[in-house]
Structure 1
Amino acid sequence: MLSIKVLGPGCANCRKLEEVAREAVTTLGVEAEISKVTDMQQIVAYDVLKTPGLVINEKLVSSGRIPTPASVAEWIRAAL
């Protein structure tokens, strides 16, 4: 099962990124655990300077923007 983490303080962009990630998982039909990381020390540990950040299987794939569902789906496919 994939591990997907949305990194951010809980702002509107963070919530939007979580929606995009869930949409990509649903579209691909894969099993994934999507969690939110709001603790700034944990976020900084991933070398994220701007939120929101997206981590798939402990690899940072995006930060500081909201990627398209297609981009997220590509990253998920690459992680499988």
Structure 2
Amino acid sequence: MSDLLDNKEEAQKAVVEWLSKKAKTKSKFYIKDFYKIFPDDKPRMIKKVVNKMVEDGILEFWSSGSTTMYGLKGGGIQHSSEGEN
């Protein structure tokens, strides 16, 4: 089993810290951007961690239909303008 899944809390903490640092310039990221956080882990394991964080309400995803991006829940301009007509 991957170290990433063994240390789920540490992995989640690393993702939140990385996203918080990047929040000054971007609020949404492609799944491949998360691969930089865990260069020694396989993409499938990283995606499992990110998707679990979405399930837990830590992250949210945004999809245009052809593109899916992830960010901290409640962050970004997109989030604040949703629901407006």
Instruction: Tell me whether the two structures share a fold, i.e. TM-score over 0.5.
Output: no
Larger helix share, 1 or 2: 2
Larger strand share, 1 or 2: 1
TM, length-normalised to structure 2:
0.28
Q: Which has the larger radius of gyration?
A: 2
- More RCO (CA 8 Å, sep 6+): 1
TM, length-normalised to structure 1:
0.29
